[in-house]
């Protein structure tokens, strides 16, 4: 049973380019969370999605950032016109139901470096 | 004030030592509490959940004091392999299940 998968593991972009980060949840999980970890900081919640729905995007910057979780395929976190401050590790987590006590399982993360 | 606060350390201890980490949280309505472990900025992995009655898993003991909004983790007989960053995590009282992470406490166990 494969765990949460994220790709790419490392992504280098120049300022102004777009970054697309992908997350495939564990089999049977229909809830996805995205977190960002800036250098020397803890993880910060960005967005929570169910299939085809954004449930909570309270942690996501209002501009340049968007997320989706289509009916088929992985969840995508998209950052337009990247800036140096977007350099961070982006972790995706999945859970079966999204509420209650169940554990969130984390993927290996995507390290984004903006030059 | 941060929602979850931890002493970042680092804690440098010899093998076999007992070490304790503390954490405070600001939202008194928080319902679920966890300790995660993160190695070299890899993905966080759940170490243990924390219950009001306290709970133990081998060399690890977690305690929760709701009145003081305080969580602790005790590691006995430290091993070299315990070297990592320990993240105090609180699940928000909303029904979305999002996790609030402390910045982590770094532990370095030396031979």
Count CB neighbours of A105 within 10 A: 18
pLDDT by residue, tens only, chain B of 111 residues? 789 999 888 999 999 999 999 999 999 888 889 999 999 879 999 999 998 888 999 999 999 999 999 999 999 999 999 999 999 999 887 777 789 999 999 999 999
- pLDDT on residue A87: 96
Which member of B43, B49, B100 has the closest CB to residue A108? Answer: B43
Residues of B in contact with A106 (CB under 8 A): 43-45
Instruction: Reply yes or no: is the peptide bond before residue A8 cis, omega within 30 of 0.
Output: yes
pLDDT, mean of residues A54-69: 94
Give chain A's contact residues with B (Cβ, < 8 Å).
31, 33, 35, 37, 40-45, 48, 55-56, 59, 89, 91, 93, 95, 98-101, 103-104, 106-109
- pLDDT above 70: residue A29: yes
Is residue A110 scored above 60 in pLDDT?
Answer: yes
Mutate to test the interface with B, among A6, A43, A110 (most CBs of B within 10 A): A43
């Amino acid at each position: 049973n494969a765990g949460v998968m994220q790709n790419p593991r490392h992504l280098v972009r120049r300022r102004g380019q777009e970054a697309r980060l992908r997350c495939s949840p564990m089999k049977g999980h229909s809830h996805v969370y995205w977190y960002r970890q800036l250098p020397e900081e803890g993880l910060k919640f960005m967005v929570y999605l169910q299939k085809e729905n954004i449930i909570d995007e309270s942690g996501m910057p209002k501009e340049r950032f968007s997320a989706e979780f289509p009916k088929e395929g992985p969840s995508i976190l998209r950052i337009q016109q990247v800036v140096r401050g977007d350099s961070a590790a982006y972790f995706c987590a999945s859970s079966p139901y999204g509420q209650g006590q169940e554990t969130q399982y984390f993927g290996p993360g995507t390290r984004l470096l903006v030059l | 004030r941060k929602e979850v606060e931890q002493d970042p350390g680092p804690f440098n201890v010899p093998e076999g030592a007992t070490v304790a980490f503390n954490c405070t949280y600001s939202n008194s309505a928080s319902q679920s509490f966890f300790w995660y472990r993160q190695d070299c900025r890899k993905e966080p992995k759940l170490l243990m959940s924390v219950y009001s009655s306290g709970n133990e898993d081998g060399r690890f003991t977690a305690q929760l004091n709701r009145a003081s909004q305080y969580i602790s983790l005790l590691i006995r007989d430290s091993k070299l392999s315990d070297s990592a960053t320990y993240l105090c995590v609180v699940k928000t009282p909303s029904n979305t299940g999002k996790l609030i992470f402390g910045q982590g406490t770094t532990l370095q166990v030396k031979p």
